[in-house]
């Protein structure tokens, strides 16, 4: 822990990769747990373009349910610690797989949301995109402009990552001195390969997760614990 804290304190260039685990203590369910299920359905079968093509109403009902749950959630001390450490670093990027917007709500500014945002809604007809936080009275929602079907502005399994976010992430992973990987099971590509990429380019990799993951073996430090406890301990300078 002390060694890892030292790496974070002294580096100039810091990258952080987060996943659903970082929001778990805020009450947002992760996908891979009993809480993540909806009507006994596996999220992996709903978060796909095929599911949307087949039954857009059902996919939207699931998103509306998730949006309602997330609306009542606030950032936790893990989010706050990452926003604080950003302020101290000239070169910083927070790469998140989370779609809940809690990093920005905590004050993080240099954020690449590589899986999009659950608050953004995009028209499949004309491409118009808007942030919209309220519930839709009728599902699936339709576009005012072209009447097309609107979809959640998130990246589904099998889809490409948004170009700008993904490029920014790759560039940062090739130049950062330290990478923190927090709250991700590291099984969803391409983020699953990010730790190895950073390491190949010489970064120290620190994992924060209560459980072992497929990337644990290549990390320079693994800290087993909840991100709401561990990230504040790692990121704030000791008050002595
Ligand atoms: P995941 O559900 O696959 O894995 C969550 C990881 O977090 C696990 O390794 C678990 O051990 C760990 N974890 C659980 N509680 C934790 C805590 N308190 N502190 C630290 N770690 C904790 O999540 P993933 O790797 O992000 O992949 C799932 C995909 O689903 C992502 O692509 C993401 O876009 C999406 N998703 C997003 C949200 C969100 O926005 N909050 C929620 C669920 C799923
Ligand atoms: Zn449209």
Q: How far is it, in rounded angstroms, from Cα 129 to Cα 132? A: 9
Q: How far is it, in rounded angstroms, from Cα 91 to Cα 81? A: 16
Tell me which residue of 210, 106, 99, 85 sits closest to 155, measured CA to CA.
Answer: 99
**Residues whose Cβ atom is located within 5 A of ion ligand 2:** 123, 125-126, 128, 143, 145-146, 148
Rg of the chain in Å (alpha carbons): 18
pLDDT reported for residue 240? 42
CATH fold label, 2-27+74-115+161-235: Rossmann fold (3.40.50)
122 CA → ligand 2 middle, Å:
8
Please indicate whether residue 184, judged by its CB atom, sits closer than 6 Å to ligand 1.
yes
Tell me which residue of 154, 191, 155 sits closest to 173, measured CA to CA.
Answer: 191
pLDDT reported for residue 238? 60
Per DSSP, what are the bridge partners of residue 142? 149
Specify whether the CB–CB gap between 148 and 124 falls below 8 A: yes
Domain ranges within the chain, ordered by starting residue: 2-27+74-115+161-235, 29-72+117-154
pLDDT reported for residue 239? 53
Q: How far is it, in rounded angstroms, from Cα 117 to Cα 103? A: 11
Q: What stretch of H or E contains 168? A: helix 163-175
What is the reported pTM?
0.95
46 CA → ligand 2 middle, Å:
23
Please indicate whether residue 73, judged by its CB atom, sits closer than 6 Å to ligand 1.
no
Q: Which residues of the chain have pLDDT under 50?
A: 240
Q: Confirm whether 115 is a catalytic residue.
A: yes
Please indicate whether residue 99, judged by its CB atom, sits closer than 6 Å to ligand 1.
yes
**pLDDT tens digits for range 53-99:** 999 999 999 999 999 999 999 999 999 999 999 999 999 999 999 99
Closest ligand to 147 CA? 2
Domains 2-27+74-115+161-235 and 29-72+117-154 share a fold: no
Specify whether the CB–CB gap between 231 and 82 falls below 8 A: yes
pLDDT reported for residue 148? 97
pLDDT reported for residue 168? 98
Choosing from 16, 17, 21, 189 the residue with most ligand 1 atoms within 8 A of its CB, the one to mutate for a pocket test is 21
Question: Residues with Cβ < 8 Å from 6, sequence gap 6 or more?
Answer: none
Q: How far is it, in rounded angstroms, from Cα 12 to Cα 152? A: 36
Please indicate whether residue 115, judged by its CB atom, sits closer than 6 Å to ligand 1.
yes
Under DSSP, is residue 80 helix (H, G, I), strand (E, B) or coil? Answer: helix
Q: Options 1.20.210.10, 3.40.50.11810, 3.30.70.100, 3.30.1600.10; which CATH number does 29-72+117-154 get? A: 3.30.1600.10
Specify whether the CB–CB gap between 119 and 134 falls below 8 A: no
Please indicate whether residue 102, judged by its CB atom, sits closer than 6 Å to ligand 1.
no
């Amino acid at each position: 822990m002390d060694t890892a804290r030292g790496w974070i304190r002294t580096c100039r260039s810091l990258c952080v990769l987060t996943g659903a685990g970082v929001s778990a203590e805020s009450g947002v369910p992760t996908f891979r747990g009993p809480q993540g299920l909806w009507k006994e359905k596996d999220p992996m079968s709903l978060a796909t373009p095929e599911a949307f093509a087949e039954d857009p109403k059902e996919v939207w009902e699931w998103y509306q349910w998730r949006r309602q749950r997330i609306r009542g959630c606030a950032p936790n001390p893990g989010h706050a610690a990452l926003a604080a450490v950003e302020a101290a670093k000239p070169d910083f990027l927070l790469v998140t797989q989370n779609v809940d917007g809690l990093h920005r709500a905590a004050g993080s500014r240099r954020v690449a949301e590589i899986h999009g945002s659950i608050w953004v809604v995009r028209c499949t007809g004309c491409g118009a995109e808007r942030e919209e936080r309220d519930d839709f009275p009728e599902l699936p929602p339709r576009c005012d402009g072209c009447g097309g079907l609107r979809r959640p502005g998130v990246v589904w399994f099998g889809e490409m990552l948004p170009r700008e976010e993904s490029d920014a992430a790759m560039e940062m992973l090739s130049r950062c001195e330290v990478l923190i990987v927090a709250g991700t099971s590291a099984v969803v590509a391409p983020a699953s390969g990010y730790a190895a990429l950073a390491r190949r380019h010489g970064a120290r990799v620190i994992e924060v997760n209560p459980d072992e993951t497929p990337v644990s073996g290549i990390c320079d430090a693994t800290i087993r614990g909840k991100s709401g406890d561990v990230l504040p301990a790692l990121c704030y300078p000791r008050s002595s």
